[in-house]
Structure 1
Amino acid sequence: MDKQINAVRFYGQAVAKGGVFLILALLSSALCALAQYRPIDLPKTLTFTKPTPAYDPENPKHKLGDFQAGIRVNVLGSQSDPSLWRVSYERYGQAALEALIESPDLSATEVEAYKRVHALISEFPLLQTLLETENPWPKEIEEQARQIFGHEKNFTLASGSKDSADVLTAKSPKSFWGIQPLASEIRYTDPKDPRVLIEVWNKGDAHRSRIRPTRARLIIRENLEKIQSAFPTMLQDPAPSMSITALKIQEEVFLLPNDLRVSLRYKSGEYLLLSLQSIRYLEDNKPGAFDPETFTQRIASKVTTSEDGHRYIDSIPMIDQGEKGYCAAATLARVLQFYGYPIDMHALADLAETEGRGGTRRDEIIRAMRRICNSTPFKLRELKDPDPGLLREKIEKGVPLIWFVPGHARLLIGIHPENSEIVYSDTYGLAHQYTVGDWVYFMNNNKEIWTLLPEGH
């Protein structure tokens, strides 16, 4: 074995050779994963093509030696850090030896395949960064933004707070494959499902775009197919988290190295979107059955008190509708995202037959909400003749109220327990996240209030 791995101690035991214990000093170094183009599925066996460092499974910082070229090992699995594989070397007449190795870099092991797509990848800087960075899905959204967007001057806060950001958006999204997208953002609304979203085109912002969405879709699909075919995988697409069957989303999925699930979503005449997610996060956090009690406790925990004494629901994701007439779709999307469904306003605008510039008819958004309820555990209810006591009852339970005012839809998220001032939130960005109005303002503007709640809530 000492000819095949240049270390003679595993787990503190010396390896005998010719009756003489040959003791070599253990090499110690910090384990630094390459992570570039890391395979997303594990082979059963692996044959080394060059000397490969081996590390102690009990102390990954300690290098044991090198597996030499030509040695074949069994791959037992990956670690909590997916850049490390646990392998086993079978020895005749002796117990197998286990070690940790850095997962292979496909750009080095599949050289010809990598050469075929390298230029293509380099023309999509955001994708290239995620394929080549050591940790494509860091825990902190700011670290992710610096990796993808560069200096802090290149991105801005879109949802959350300065101390706890949920969404960061590129100020000037970079073009790729000759396509200039409308927006690029990093979304950590659900820390268990971080994602990068690229809004390539949508009907509401069509006047701002010069691309032809059908042609852009073909280019993106063709190029992603080439990259995926260069690094083929047997892995099945992990189940998406908490989908809504009422939304007929057309999606093409590509599984790429370094823990990347790329989803191309397209609806003719409506939108063209790219979503990049972590395969491992999706596999490790598959949603279970809906638990009304857990849900009720979770949303109620988001209620807090402002400095002025208003009781309000915190942490509702912000969605900026921009110049589009998407207030109703964006408002509904905010509620669903708060409830744990990663739904965007474009899919809801399609469901509600929203006009790009003209908005959504009242009957259509009500119909859309009913269809949403038919494929979720929620029921649609109207709050009739609301008074301060009824509004506070809902707010204290963490229930966002979908508030229709003349010509507009917004969320009612808070109320003052003494003077009945209300707190409402519009879909125009963070500057409109929290606005206070008195009770007279509420009575003069209230048209309808609706809630989406589980049965029996």
Structure 2
Amino acid sequence: MWNSPGGLAALEYNTEALTGPAEPEFLRIKLAAPGQKAAFLQESGHTIRKTSLGRSELPRFVKRESNGDTYVSNVPMVDQGAKGYCVVASCQRLFGYLGIPCDQHEMAQIAGSDADRGTSPMAMEEALKKIDSRFKVNFKPLAYRLRGGGLGVPSGTRLIDVNQAKFQKSIQDYTSKGVPLLWALQLGIYPEVPQISLQAGGGHMRLILGINAEKGELIFTDSWGAGHEIKRMKISDAFQATLALYVIEPKEY
């Protein structure tokens, strides 16, 4: 980090670049004006960070449209690019929504993500357990399906057996309070709108934003940049495709 009368700067990179033969996974420089020192230090991880939004503040981000859509708005977009970072990119978007300054590259280091193979949700779960107290959030798995493969969810691991009605109710309960959900699923099995254009199949993680109960549709978003903010799938299809469902929410009101 550099501090001068003309401004502030910080160079960030993955720690493995200093301890092994591997090339840096990422390099990033942040710049700020002198008057932004406090916010800059917080954003760069040099102060204790916490969520800036409490649970009581989240319902104001819930939109209720005349067509029956009820969903969480104001979730920032992140483009994971060509890397298998769907899990950490989804977490970055969720953390950004909650006001937590942590990006997908930092999360990838914590979770042990691989740029080609991605992140196991089990590894991400362990990583989130480590940081939930630091960021004043609660992390909880809501459901696992008895299904092998895909995103590394092993058959029978801490299975919470849910039917479609409970699946839908959990989504409605959380998203109506302004809490998006992390959703691990198998792609390419059921139709969705718009159609998948980047990843045609395999394990994936995305954010569930809400539901249109009248039409029986799930409203979700992918971390693939512009054009993937609002997408839809039949709730019955989404339930069948689900591998795991997680929630992260602030601890305090």
What range describes the TM-score normalised by the shorter chain of this pair?
0.7 to 0.9
Structure 1 outlier segments of 4+, above 4 Å: 284-292
* Deviation at residue 290 of structure 1 after TM alignment: 6.0
Q: Percent same amino acid among aligned pairs?
A: 24
The match for 2:60 among 294, 301, 308 is 301
The match for 1:438 among 221, 234, 247 is 234
Q: In 2, Cα distance between the equivalents of 1:336 and 1:417?
A: 27
| Change in CA separation of 1:291 and 1:411 when aligned onto 2, cut-off 3 Å | closer
The match for 2:3 among 245, 249, 255 is 255
User: Once the two structures are superposed, what CA deviation does each residue of 1:196-232 show, in whole Å capped at 9, x if it has no partner?
Assistant: xxxxxxxxxxxxxxxxxxxxxxxxxxxxxxxxxxxxx
Mapping of residues 191-202 of structure 1, within 5 Å = none
* Deviation at residue 440 of structure 1 after TM alignment: 1.9
- Does 2:119 align with 1:339? no
Partner secondary structure for residue 54 of structure 2 = helix
Q: In 2, Cα distance between the equivalents of 1:307 and 1:256?
A: 53
Corresponding residue number in structure 2 for 1:391: 171
User: Once the two structures are superposed, what CA deviation does each residue of 1:117-174 show, in whole Å capped at 9, x if it has no partner?
Assistant: xxxxxxxxxxxxxxxxxxxxxxxxxxxxxxxxxxxxxxxxxxxxxxxxxxxxxxxxxx
Q: In 2, Cα distance between the equivalents of 1:315 and 1:394?
A: 16
* Deviation at residue 380 of structure 1 after TM alignment: 1.2
Corresponding residue number in structure 2 for 1:323: 82
* Deviation at residue 351 of structure 1 after TM alignment: 1.1
The match for 2:11 among 264, 286, 307 is 264
Mapping of residues 6-45 of structure 1, within 5 Å = none
| Change in CA separation of 1:289 and 1:433 when aligned onto 2, cut-off 3 Å | closer
The match for 1:354 among 102, 113, 118 is 113
The match for 1:276 among 9, 31, 45 is 31
| Change in CA separation of 1:255 and 1:304 when aligned onto 2, cut-off 3 Å | same
Q: In 1, Cα distance between the equivalents of 2:12 and 2:68?
A: 43
Q: In 1, Cα distance between the equivalents of 2:217 and 2:51?
A: 33
Between Structure 1 and Structure 2, how many residues are aligned? Answer: 203
* Deviation at residue 442 of structure 1 after TM alignment: 1.0
* Deviation at residue 456 of structure 1 after TM alignment: 6.8
* Deviation at residue 411 of structure 1 after TM alignment: 0.3
Q: In 1, Cα distance between the equivalents of 2:51 and 2:218?
A: 30
Corresponding residue number in structure 2 for 1:36: none
| Change in CA separation of 1:419 and 1:311 when aligned onto 2, cut-off 3 Å | same
Q: In 2, Cα distance between the equivalents of 1:429 and 1:307?
A: 27
The match for 1:415 among 203, 211, 214 is 211
Corresponding residue number in structure 1 for 2:157: none
Q: Is the 8 A contact 2:51 2:98 kept in 1?
A: no
Q: In 1, Cα distance between the equivalents of 2:81 and 2:49?
A: 35
- Does 2:173 align with 1:426? no
Give the greater-gyration-radius structure (CA): 1
* Aligned residue identity for 2:213: P
Gaps of 5+ in 2: 18-23, 144-161, 187-202
Partner secondary structure for residue 433 of structure 1 = coil
Q: In 1, Cα distance between the equivalents of 2:130 and 2:80?
A: 22
Q: In 2, Cα distance between the equivalents of 1:272 and 1:356?
A: 15
* Aligned residue identity for 2:10: S
Q: In 2, Cα distance between the equivalents of 1:354 and 1:291?
A: 24
* Aligned residue identity for 2:87: A
* Aligned residue identity for 1:336: F
Corresponding residue number in structure 2 for 1:382: 141
* Deviation at residue 336 of structure 1 after TM alignment: 0.8
User: Once the two structures are superposed, what CA deviation does each residue of 1:364-395 show, in whole Å capped at 9, x if it has no partner?
Assistant: 11111111213221121122324322211101
User: Once the two structures are superposed, what CA deviation does each residue of 1:177-208 show, in whole Å capped at 9, x if it has no partner?
Assistant: xxxxxxxxxxxxxxxxxxxxxxxxxxxxxxxx
Q: In 1, Cα distance between the equivalents of 2:39 and 2:181?
A: 32
What TM-score, normalized by structure 1, do the two folds share?
Answer: 0.41
* Deviation at residue 280 of structure 1 after TM alignment: 1.5
- Does 2:118 align with 1:370? no
| Change in CA separation of 1:288 and 1:368 when aligned onto 2, cut-off 3 Å | closer
User: Once the two structures are superposed, what CA deviation does each residue of 1:319-377 show, in whole Å capped at 9, x if it has no partner?
Assistant: 00011101001001111111111211111111111111111123211111111213221
What TM-score, normalized by structure 2, do the two folds share?
Answer: 0.72
User: Once the two structures are superposed, what CA deviation does each residue of 1:248-270 show, in whole Å capped at 9, x if it has no partner?
Assistant: xxxxx112344x22110122133
The match for 1:452 among 231, 248, 252 is 248
* Deviation at residue 307 of structure 1 after TM alignment: 5.1
Q: In 1, Cα distance between the equivalents of 2:251 and 2:98?
A: 15
Q: Is the 8 A contact 1:270 1:350 kept in 2?
A: no
